[in-house]
Amino acid sequence: MGRKFFVGGNWKCNGTTDEVKKIVSMLNAAEVPSQDVVEVVVSPPFVFLPLVKSTLRSDFHVAAQNCWVKKGGAYTGEVSAEMLVNLDVPWVILGHSERRALLGESNEFVGDKVAYALAQGLKVIACIGETLEQREAGSTVDVVAAQTKAIAAKISDWTNVVLAYEPVWAIGTGKVATPAQAQEVHLELRKWLETNVSPQVAASTRIIYGGSVNGGNCKELAGQPDVDGFLVGGASLKPEFIDIIKSAEVKKSA
């Protein structure tokens, strides 16, 4: 079963109105593979979601960078899944390692978030990944399996989930997992899904890689059989994001 290549751009906490307009103009002018070949989703800060959604080309979509774990109410500073649905924002990123590390989001909390967002009709980019200490201790597979298990325990339908493997030691550091390292973890994740969820979910769920992806390394990473795309940080704010989107052609020709 063919899995459509997926490229997400996580803009994190960056941008002014003028900078965001420039990024959107760059994306709108880009010549990239068709929607049949690649799905492109960009994730601006909350305050710019309406601007980006209203000006971005129709074949690209937007994602929020987070949402609350339950229905809205007395939760100062949070944004609910219902609000995103109301704004017609189709995607949300959940469980990013920065939120896990800086804000203490546990595996179980992320699992609850994913389940709630899906129940409201959002599509979810669910992030998992190990720290450098965990990798050096040889526990990478155990760590990402535990993070995935916490999500699997709360959901039954994986249709609208993209799993983003982002080794924490490679995010924003310039270090990148080698294509072989990325493939190894993606393959182990797919095996985990096959054993613990179902062969169908394992075959159809897109597992994308994140962590210092750039225009120079994207094609080799895209060539790995179990790497179904990318979640891109800093490079998604730059022209090289277009090259990363074009790396979908590697999969098309494979």
Catalytic residue among 39, 98, 130, 166: 166
> Are the C-beta atoms of 120 and 90 separated by less than 8 Å?
no
* Rounded-to-integer distance, Cα 171 and Cα 53, Å: 26
- Our answer to whether residue 96 is catalytic in this structure is yes
Domain range 5-253, its CATH number among 3.20.20.70, 3.30.70.100, 1.20.58.220, 3.20.20.140 = 3.20.20.70
pLDDT at 254 over 80: no
Which pLDDT band holds residue 174 (cuts at 50, 70, 90)?
A: confident
Query: Chain-wide mean pLDDT for the chain?
Result: 96
Whether the pLDDT of residue 172 is over 90: the answer is no
pTM of the model: 0.97
Active-site pick, 96, 98, 105, 186: 96
Q: Are strands 60-64 and 123-128 parallel, antiparallel or unpaired?
A: unpaired
16 contact partners, CB below 8 Å, separation of at least 6: none
DSSP secondary structure code for residue 174 in this structure: S
pLDDT above 70: residue 1: no
Is 133 one of the annotated active-site residues of the chain?
no
The pLDDT of 7-15, averaged and rounded, is 98
Rounded-to-integer distance, Cα 130 and Cα 26, Å: 33
252 has a pLDDT exceeding 90: no
pLDDT given at position 163: 98
Burial class (CB in 10 A: 0-12, 13-18, 19+), 230: buried
CA distances (Å), 165 to each of 88, 145, 148, 187, in order? Answer: 26, 11, 10, 11
- pLDDT-derived band at 165 (thresholds 50, 70, 90) equals very high
Q: Average of pLDDT values for 183-200?
A: 98
The ranges assigned to domains in the chain are 5-253
Q: Give the model confidence (pLDDT) of 134-164 as tens digits.
A: 999 999 999 999 999 999 999 999 999 999 9
